[in-house]
């Protein structure tokens, strides 16, 4: 693709591994200069930066816990201080918790909400203020999930925060449209990252069964790759998506398009 992102400056939260890394590498391959945010694993983030530089691109790593307002502000400021501006913000950082709503502790619920929803909120506000004051537009893209739309047992705070990200983004899209800033969501289906290790690497019979069930539920019959999310983000970051704002783009192999779970042989419940 040539999406003309040369010299655009992108901040990607949680970009040391997984989908965030895939997004950072794709944006860099399209010419963007990338701020690779990480919270703990500096070595992984440095490796992403090195990969981008080795390919002739420009990147830097910045530590920040995006769930903390001051950290998010420091991340955005570091990007502006180093690269002079921010054109693209990708809110990717996210965590999952697998507990029934009636049993999850308040601390764990808070931790997921703080990272997933407040992370998106803080970074969007700090970057949004910068984009508005610069007056040359911008792109904000947040990574949500099929589970912002389709509930899944024991993923209460995860599903709730992803749905919140979808609505927050529509709201922000409306408020920032007069400033030429677009705000969109990429809602991912099941993607091969550490979050899903049991699904694609484990040989335990129960995990194999789970993987089989997940694959049956996806019309395209396969799990997605981080780069496939990255390419959707790159599209929404580009002028090819100039009239798209407030959208939720599903990158899910058809998961949400099919309303009823599939039964073996591919037949749906009538």
Give the footprint of ligand NAD on residues 221-240 (CB under 6 A).
Answer: none
Residue 19 and residue 211: Cα distance in Å, rounded? Answer: 19
* CB contact at 8 A, 185 and 247: yes
Q: Is 17 or 170 the residue whose CB approaches ligand NAD more closely?
A: 17
Q: Which of 160, 190, 237, 245 binds ligand NAD (CB under 6 A)?
A: 190
For ligand NAD, which residue of 191, 218, 236, 249 counts as binding (CB under 6 A)?
Answer: 191
Residue 254: other Cβ atoms inside 10 A: 13
Number of neighbouring beta carbons within 10 Å of residue 104: 16
Minimum distance of ligand NAD from residue 173's CB (angstroms): 19
Smaller CB separation from ligand NAD, 4 or 208: 208
Residue 65 contacts ligand NAD per CB under 6 A: yes
Give dist(CA 114, CA 215) in Å, integer. Answer: 31
| CB of 260 vs ligand NAD, minimal distance in Å | 21
Rounded-to-integer distance, Cα 14 and Cα 265, Å: 38
Residue with tokens 């925060």: 161
Strand order from edge to edge, sheet including 248-251: 59-63, 33-38, 9-12, 88-91, 138-145, 181-188, 248-251
| C-beta closer to ligand NAD: residue 94 or 138 | 94
196 touches ligand NAD (CB under 6 A): yes
Is 250 annotated as catalytic?
A: no
| Residue in 195, 210, 240, 256 binding ligand NAD, rule: CB under 6 A | 195
Point out which residues bind ligand NAD (CB under 6 A).
13-14, 16-20, 37, 39-40, 65-67, 92-95, 115, 119, 143, 145, 188, 190-191, 193-196
């Amino acid at each position: 693709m040539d999406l003309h992102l040369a010299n655009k400056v992108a901040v990607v939260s949680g970009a040391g591994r997984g989908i965030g890394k895939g997004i950072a590498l794709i944006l860099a391959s399209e010419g963007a200069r990338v701020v690779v945010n990480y919270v703990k694993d500096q070595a992984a983030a440095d490796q992403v930066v090195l990969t981008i530089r080795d390919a002739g691109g420009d990147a830097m790593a910045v530590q920040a816990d995006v769930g903390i307002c001051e950290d998010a502000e420091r991340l955005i400021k570091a990007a502006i201080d180093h690269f002079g501006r921010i054109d693209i913000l990708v809110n990717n950082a996210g965590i999952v918790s697998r507990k029934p709503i009636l049993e999850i502790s308040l601390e764990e619920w808070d931790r997921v909400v703080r990272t997933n929803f407040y992370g998106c909120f803080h970074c969007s506000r700090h970057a949004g203020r910068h984009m508005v004051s610069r007056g040359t537009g911008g792109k904000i893209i947040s990574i949500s999930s099929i589970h912002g739309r389709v509930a899944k047992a024991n993923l209460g705070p995860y599903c709730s925060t992803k749905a919140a990200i979808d609505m927050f983004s529509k709201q922000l899209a409306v408020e920032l449209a007069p400033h030429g800033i677009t705000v969109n969501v990429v809602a991912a289906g099941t993607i091969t990252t550490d979050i899903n290790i049991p699904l694609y690497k484990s040989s335990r019979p129960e995990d194999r069964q789970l993987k089989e069930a997940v694959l049956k539920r996806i019309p395209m019959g396969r799990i997605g790759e981080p780069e496939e999310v990255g390419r959707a983000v790159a599209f929404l970051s580009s002028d090819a998506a100039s009239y798209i704002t407030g959208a939720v783009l599903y990158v899910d192999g058809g998961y949400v398009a099919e309303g009823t779970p599939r039964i073996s042989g591919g037949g749906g419940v009538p």
